[in-house]
Amino acid sequence: MEPIYLDHAATTPIHPDVLDEMVKTYKNVIGNPSSIHYFGREARKVLDDALERSLKIYRRRKQGYCFHERRYGRR
């Protein structure tokens, strides 16, 4: 019998498609999204695009939502 992981409060397995996207981003985006220089602006675009895609998936409006401190939340 194959084991089933149920402790998602501790960690959650990453879907292979998500991991592929993360690795691609880590390899290609090197800026701090809070910085105003070119690399920071590029990183901000990636972050903003990810937020937009997430909101679309969950059918939410952008107002009041942001990514922060490695978690998703409301402002």
Residue 8 has what pLDDT? 80
Residue 57 lies in a domain: yes
* pLDDT (mean) for 5-28: 88
Query: In which band, very low, low, confident or very high, does the pLDDT at 5 lie, cut at 50, 70 and 90?
Result: confident
Q: Tell me: pLDDT of 55 over 90.
A: no
Q: Tell me: pLDDT of 56 over 70.
A: yes
Residue 66 lies in a domain: yes
Residue 49 lies in a domain: yes
Strands (E), 1-75: 65-68, 71-74
Residue 68 lies in a domain: yes
pTM: 0.63
* Domains: count for the chain: 1
* pLDDT (mean) for 18-40: 92
CA atoms within 13 A on the CB side of 75: 7
Residue 33 lies in a domain: yes
Residue 18 lies in a domain: no
Q: What pLDDT digit, counting tens, does each position of 30-48 carry? A: 988 889 999 999 999 998 8
